[in-house]
Amino acid sequence: MKTLYVKTYGCQMNAYDSAKMADLLAPLGYATIDAPEGADMVILNTCHIREKAVEKVYSELGRLRGLKAKKARDGGRMVLAVAGCVGQAEGAEIVAREPAVDLVVGPQSYHRLPEMIARTARAGGHALETDFPALEKFDSLPAPASSTVSAFLTVQEGCNKFCTFCVVPYTRGSEQSRPAEAILREARQLADKGARELVLLGQNVNAYDADGWSLAKLCDALSNVQGIERIRYTTSHPRDMADDLIAAHGSNKKLMPYLHLPVQSGSDAVLEAMNRQHSADDYRRQIDRVRKVRPDIALTSDFIVGFPGESDSDFEATLQLVRDIGYATAFSFKYSKRPGTPASTMRKQVGEEVKTARLDALQKLLLSQQHAFDDSQIGKIQPVLFEKTARETGQIMGRTPYQQPVHVIAQPSLIGSVADVRIERRTANSLHGTLA
Ligand code: SAH
Ligand code: SF4
Ligand code: F3S
């Protein structure tokens, strides 16, 4: 028996890929452990989206170099692999900078890991695979060995949008949709292993388009899979919010009232410079259409502050958009210069202090909206899908249809099922209630 430690950075698609890598290596005798010390193989599944994310990877590699040397002194061998988006973007630099790295694979080529491990064991040196055979990858992945109650399922990969700040089109390749058939098969396998909720993943998941299947049609088919109670999807792009998908939020009872639709900025000038290809009012109209069919829908977004050229009034337009929409929760980031992207060489970069002040102001507003949204649930009864035991003894954790975590004192036997909960109070990041 050999041991494998996988550390995941970045988005949910990386989390999905990490689980797949573990499934792929299990037949080679690797059992997953939850710390790198003494492991026979370590995979860092990395994220390139912001500079800080990349720095974390290099400092972790430094630490692993030490662990690898110790393992060698003890007469063993630790195979060190870098997967994910930093691997894709900086593969050659990684092996030059960190000779302890044996293998580098990109997000579309990790299905070749077993063969690469064998190759380096035979011939020594390092191996590097950063092609983009996305669909070949999916065809070569094994069936899921286990599942959580809420399971990720990647249905779409890559991005053709080329927002001027973003590395994803370069690290994940162009937009590709998996055939519906393969997705339905994986959904049935996940349901057999205990999945009750599917979270459909894609960098542009609502751009899903495979042989005439739209995301709405896919959600309808998935809602007939035995055992599946809930369906969610993330992340969407405003330009791909098709009529049938909006309609599905009214007609498909298993499609949860939750939509993550990133807008990035409320200023038309900034949206244009970002190459988002829609205006702030286009976005407002999209939201109006969604709210018409599902007035209670929980809305979330991503925001970037301090994009090159963003003025005080541009930033004020973002705050105004947030006030107009009213979010359930949202993610916000300081603009981070990414090598090779058009925005990184734009003149008028915004200073760090201004970015910090804007991020603080935006996060304050978003947090007050999150609290208001959570507080609006207090006193109501909501169907909660229970996912796991919580750290606090005797409690189990589940989620409302709006994705809010709820803690309840109840039997762990409820995990995997939906029960009505009376919401009683809110703490910093969670709701608390009792079985109704
Ligand atoms: N496809 C999704 C986003 C994927 S990246 C979309 O188009 O909305 C996730 C988020 O990271 C983005 O929504 C953006 O808010 C943030 N992000 C991407 N590049 C960034 C950068 N260079 N600096 C700061 N935040 C960035
Ligand atoms: Fe990046 Fe834009 Fe593509 Fe989203 S749509 S992944 S932000 S390039
Ligand atoms: Fe990061 Fe790659 Fe996801 S850059 S956010 S891990 S697509």
Measured distance CA(8)–CA(81) in Å, rounded: 12
Q: Whose CA is nearest to atom 19 of ligand 1?
A: 166
Measured distance CA(344)–CA(336) in Å, rounded: 8
Ligand 1 center from residue 213 Cα (angstroms)? 27
Residues with CB under 6 A from ligand 2: 159, 161-163, 166, 168-169, 203-204, 237
Residues with CB under 6 A from ligand 3: 10-11, 13-14, 47-49, 84-85, 167-168, 171-172, 203
For residue 32, give the amino acid letter.
T
Long-range pairs, 104-108, Cβ under 8 A, ≥24: 104/128, 104/129, 104/130, 105/81, 105/129, 105/130, 106/130, 106/131, 106/132, 106/171, 107/13, 107/14, 107/17, 107/83, 107/157, 107/171, 107/172, 108/132, 108/133, 108/134, 108/137, 108/157, 108/172, 108/173
- Name the CATH code of domain 136-305 (choices 3.20.20.80, 3.80.30.20, 3.90.1150.10, 2.60.120.10): 3.80.30.20
Ligand 2 center from residue 35 Cα (angstroms)? 33
Measured distance CA(261)–CA(277) in Å, rounded: 14
Measured distance CA(145)–CA(276) in Å, rounded: 39
Q: Where in the chain is CATH 2.40.50?
A: 381-435
Ligand 1 center from residue 336 Cα (angstroms)? 10
Specify the pLDDT at position 336.
Answer: 97
**For the domain 2-133, what is the CATH code?**
3.40.50.12160
Q: Whose CA is nearest to atom 10 of ligand 1?
A: 302
Predicted TM-score (pTM) of the model is 0.96
Specify the pLDDT at position 392.
Answer: 66
Strands lying side by side in the sheet with 79-83: 30-32, 2-8, 41-46, 79-83, 103-105, 127-129
> Counting atoms of ligand 1 from 1, which one is nearest the CA of 204?
1
- Name the CATH code of domain 381-435 (choices 3.40.50, 1.20.120, 2.40.50, 1.20.1530): 2.40.50
Specify the pLDDT at position 127.
Answer: 84
Beta strands in 159-265 (DSSP E): 176-177, 197-201, 209-210, 213-214, 230-234, 258-260
Specify the pLDDT at position 408.
Answer: 96
Choose the residue to mutate in 333, 335, 344, 358 for probing ligand 1, maximizing ligand atoms within 8 Å of C-beta.
Answer: 333
Ligand 3 center from residue 47 Cα (angstroms)? 5
> Counting atoms of ligand 3 from 1, which one is nearest the CA of 45?
6
Q: Where in the chain is CATH 3.80.30.20?
A: 136-305
Closest to 42 in 3D by CA, of 13, 63, 27: 63
**Ligand nearest 16 Cα, by number?**
3
DSSP string, 306-325: S-TT--HHHHHHHHHHHHHH
pLDDT (tens, 9 = 90+) of the chain, 436 residues, equals 899 999 999 999 999 999 999 999 999 999 999 999 999 999 999 999 999 988 899 999 999 999 999 999 999 999 999 999 999 999 989 989 899 999 999 999 999 999 999 888 887 778 888 887 767 888 888 999 999 999 999 999 999 999 999 999 999 999 999 999 999 999 999 999 999 999 999 999 999 999 999 999 999 999 999 999 999 999 999 999 999 999 999 999 999 999 999 999 999 999 999 999 999 999 999 999 999 999 999 999 999 999 999 999 999 999 999 999 999 999 999 999 999 999 999 999 999 999 999 999 999 999 999 999 999 999 999 999 999 998 766 799 999 999 999 999 999 999 999 999 999 999 988 999 999 9
Measured distance CA(120)–CA(388) in Å, rounded: 40
Ligand 1 contact, 241 CB (< 6 A): no
Q: Are 174 and 128 in contact (CB under 8 A)?
A: no
Measured distance CA(216)–CA(389) in Å, rounded: 33
- Tracing tokens 């970015």 back to the chain, one arrives at 355
Q: Angle, to 10 degrees, between the axis of helix 12-25 and the axis of helix 113-123?
A: 60
